[in-house]
Amino acid sequence: MRKKTSSILWLIFLLSLVSFFIALPKGFEKEIVFRGKVRKISFTRPDFNFNLGPFKIRKKLFLHKGLDLAGGVHLVFLAQMKELPEEGREVALASLRENIARRVNLFGVSESVVWVSKALNEHHLIVEIPGEIDPDQAVALLGQTAQLNFRLEAELPPEATMSATVYDLFSIETDLTGANLQKAEVRFDPNTSKPQVGLVFDDKGKELFGQLTENNVNKRMAIFLDNFLLSAPVVKEPIKDGQAVISGEFQLNQAKQMVSQLNAGALPVEIELIRQERVDPSLGADSINKGVKAGLIGVILVALFMIIFYRLLGFLAVLGLIIYTLLSLALYKLIPVTLTMSGVAGFLLSLGMAVDSNILIFERMKEEVRAGKPKLIAMELGFGRAWDSIRDANVCTLIICFVLFNPFNWSFLNTSGLIRGFAFTLGLGVILEMFTGIVVVRAIMRSFYKPKGEIKK
């Protein structure tokens, strides 16, 4: 028993150490004045790079901050697809997402996200761009409907070719637009089985495309999406049947991406801004400062309370609480969890709840001692008997967290980041709490809690 306990203790120690390492901020610098001298403390945590057999683990560890903490724009667009045929909607939506993501990338913010969320009977496209950007510009740029058009190569004088842009090069506009393109799809060359991009035109498109290809054999025809050059294949022969193929050295994912972009123009979806949230980064920084301050004071109060009320036992519980905090922070970085202010609240609430299992155990122990049992036996009994209550106490909270977090993205439940942030940190906290409250604190107590009158085994 002793041996087992001490190996669990070592494991916990190791786990805490790893968590501590992960939880550390990336870089840290602070000047402190000590005996009149200014000293600079600084340190940098190396990134999390190591090889585990054949796996190379490269992870940049940092706390992902939600919009309300980092500042930025959160936009919800309603995709209007009533005019599209039912079977084309899936494709249209995927293409819309792809195209909006491409536009979002123009802002060059690496942590931007774009996703589609199914509302009751509508589709929403949600865009989040953190950091300092011009929200009006973002709304204007993202809100446009995609425009696809075909252009022809102009004859440039030789001296101009050096400084010519793609817009100079393909300056001849045609009547052929995305409206004439029925769909684009990935195909495979029957001979080489290399991926290709197939284009299918409607009747009017077939006619226009036929004329254009007939007059421009061996010239390039460019396809622009929102004034952005997608492709400029060379016309090899006149195509009269409205079925064209762009071939080239495509990787499969490149072909897929181009198909999505072409479809964004072929199946244009009008989008309407129905929700926007903008937070200035300064306000986010202010929230973080306040949240951290509130959290620290709350935790110190909890720790003091536990130590004053339960003395040595309380101190051990606080040790468990510290390990709990380290594990939580490490998990937030590893999973990674996007932290919002409500997520911080969820974490703090779970922290307040975390000592519950300890309190339950300590109170049971007291009961057993009152009933005349030796303290050490009382401790083991306390842990055993409290388990039922601890499990019960947490089931309800987990049920609620499940409903609020909506892990399966059910369209009839909320998908709001604020609510999910809270539910996730609270739920994770409750699960972790069962681990630290029982396994960790028990191991610590078995090793360090040696009341008088111990029975020799």
- Near another protein by CB under 8 A: residue from 28, 43, 228, 402: 402
Q: Which amino acid is located at 127 in the chain?
A: V
Phi/psi at 418 (5° precision): -65, -45
Of 303, 317, 300, residue with least CA distance to 448: 317
- Near another protein by CB under 8 A: residue from 208, 259, 264, 404: 404
Q: Round to whole Å and give the CA distance between 368 and 362.
A: 10
* Residue 408 binds to another protein (criterion: CB under 8 A): no
* Residue 119 binds to another protein (criterion: CB under 8 A): yes
Contact yes or no for 184/167 (Cβ under 8 A): no
Neighbours of 319 (CB within 10 A): 18
* Residue 127 binds to another protein (criterion: CB under 8 A): no
Q: Round to whole Å and give the CA distance between 300 and 236.
A: 75
- Near another protein by CB under 8 A: residue from 111, 168, 203, 280: 280
Facing residues of 129 across strands? 73
Per CB under 8 A, which of residues 285..344 are in contact with another protein?
286-287, 290-291, 293-295, 297-299, 301-302, 305-306, 309, 341-342, 344
Beta carbon nearer to another protein, 224 or 405: 405
* Residue with tokens 């085994």, as numbered in its chain: 457
Dig out the tokens for 19 from the structure. 């968590």
Per CB under 8 A, which of residues 189..218 are in contact with another protein?
none
Phi/psi at 173 (5° precision): -80, 155
Beta carbon nearer to another protein, 263 or 342: 342
Smallest gap from residue 328 Cβ to another protein (A): 14
Q: Round to whole Å and give the CA distance between 328 and 324.
A: 6
Facing residues of 196 across strands? 187
Per CB under 8 A, which of residues 342..381 are in contact with another protein?
342, 344-345, 348-349, 351-353, 355-356, 359-360, 363, 367
Per CB under 8 A, which of residues 240..279 are in contact with another protein?
273-279
Beta carbon nearer to another protein, 156 or 359: 359
Which DSSP string corresponds to 107-144? T--TT-EEEEEE-SSSEEEEEEEESS--HHHHHHHHHS
Beta carbon nearer to another protein, 61 or 326: 326
Beta carbon nearer to another protein, 45 or 278: 278
Smallest gap from residue 205 Cβ to another protein (A): 35
Per-residue interface string for the shown chain with another protein, residues 39-78, x marking contact by CB under 8 A: -----------------------------x-------x-x
Beta carbon nearer to another protein, 35 or 370: 370
Per CB under 8 A, which of residues 10..39 are in contact with another protein?
none
Per-residue interface string for the shown chain with another protein, residues 422-451, x marking contact by CB under 8 A: xx--x-------------------------
* Residue with tokens 């509130």, as numbered in its chain: 294
User: Using alpha carbons only, how large is the chain's radius of gyration in Å?
Assistant: 31
Beta carbon nearer to another protein, 14 or 300: 300
Q: Round to whole Å and give the CA distance between 92 and 99.
A: 10
